[in-house]
């Protein structure tokens, strides 16, 4: 698969929706995790990321303007032992509960499908980051409809080991803006990951569409010690 510039992909797409980036930073010593949300409606844009229990939750920025919390208020990032779960919905909790019971990431997601927001049927995207003996591996998944047909759910799973330094994979809910919004298609995009946590975070934030971006979470995890650094950027402050 062709290696693409993450910043270029972000800059050229006004509405990728929600996105997960997983990979390895340039020194090969730290895992890279990023998750962002965007919004077109006032309800979707009225959100912030807040840290909680080693992960994050979404929260209404202005409670008085919250219309419908379903599908937009959830825990995008949760920890389970040495594993980090990242998703765009309440399937975070499904994955966490299944792992706790000894089941797999894939088994958890086979109980779920796309979001019930007709006519978009927004895909559920999920990631799992694993750190074992100083080595990184990760999994990504997208649960989507068959070109907007709610009677035909599709589930795709991707597993990555031996990722090269400075390389990651980018999975997002939508291929571009539209009405209805077309779902992402194909494999997660193979992308370059550049800089330390601060320069990476700034570059991602700067290249997301200024009208539609809402919040960004970035975490770098030391593969040896397990220590991590986190950055959160909220448009609403």
Q: How far apart are CA 143 and CA 106, in angstroms?
A: 11
State whether residue 73 is helix, strand or coil.
Answer: coil
CA 37 to chain CA centroid, Å, is 8
CATH number of 4-234: 3.60.20.20
pLDDT at 97: 98
- Biggest alpha carbon–alpha carbon distance for the chain: 48
pLDDT at 68: 85
In sequence order, what E strands does the chain have?
4-5, 19-24, 30-38, 47-52, 55-60, 77-80, 83-87, 124-132, 135-146, 149-161, 167-172, 189-192, 213-222, 228-234
Q: Where are the domains of the chain?
A: 4-234
pLDDT at 27: 97
Contacts of 34 (CB under 8 A, 6+ apart): 19, 20, 21, 22, 200, 201, 204, 216, 217, 218, 219
Q: How far apart are CA 26 and CA 33, in angstroms?
A: 13
CA 38 to chain CA centroid, Å, is 11
Written as tens digits, the pLDDT of the chain (237 aa) is: 899 999 999 999 999 999 999 999 999 999 999 999 999 999 999 999 999 999 999 999 999 989 888 888 999 999 999 999 999 999 999 999 999 999 999 999 999 999 999 999 999 999 999 999 999 999 999 999 999 999 999 999 999 999 999 999 999 999 999 999 999 999 999 999 999 999 999 999 999 999 999 999 999 999 999 999 999 999 999
pLDDT at 160: 98
pLDDT at 1: 87
Count of H-run helices and E-run strands, the chain: 5, 14
Q: How far apart are CA 99 and CA 14, in angstroms?
A: 35
């Amino acid at each position: 698969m062709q290696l693409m510039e993450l910043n270029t992909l972000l800059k050229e797409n006004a509405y990728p929706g929600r996105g997960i980036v997983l990979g390895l930073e340039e020194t090969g010593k730290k895992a890279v995790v990023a998750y962002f949300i965007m919004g077109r409606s006032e309800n979707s844009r009225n959100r912030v990321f807040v840290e909680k229990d080693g992960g994050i939750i979404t929260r209404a920025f202005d409670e008085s303007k919250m219309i419908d919390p379903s599908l937009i208020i959830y825990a995008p990032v949760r920890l389970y032992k040495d594993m980090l779960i990242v998703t765009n919905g309440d399937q975070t909790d499904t994955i966490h509960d299944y792992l706790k019971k000894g089941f797999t990431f894939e088994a958890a997601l086979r109980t779920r499908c796309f979001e019930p927001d007709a006519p978009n049927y927004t895909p559920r995207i999920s990631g799992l980051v694993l750190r074992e003996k100083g080595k990184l591996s990760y999994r990504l998944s997208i649960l989507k409809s068959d070109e907007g047909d709610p009677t035909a759910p599709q589930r795709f799973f991707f597993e990555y080991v031996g990722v090269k330094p400075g390389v990651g994979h980018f999975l997002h809910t939508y291929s571009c803006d539209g009405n209805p919004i077309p779902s992402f298609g194909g494999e997660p995009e193979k992308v370059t990951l550049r800089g330390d946590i601060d320069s990476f975070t700034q570059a991602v934030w700067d290249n997301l569409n200024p009208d539609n971006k809402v919040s960004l979470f970035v975490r770098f995890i030391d593969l040896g010690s397990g220590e991590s650094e986190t950055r959160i950027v909220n448009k609403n402050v």
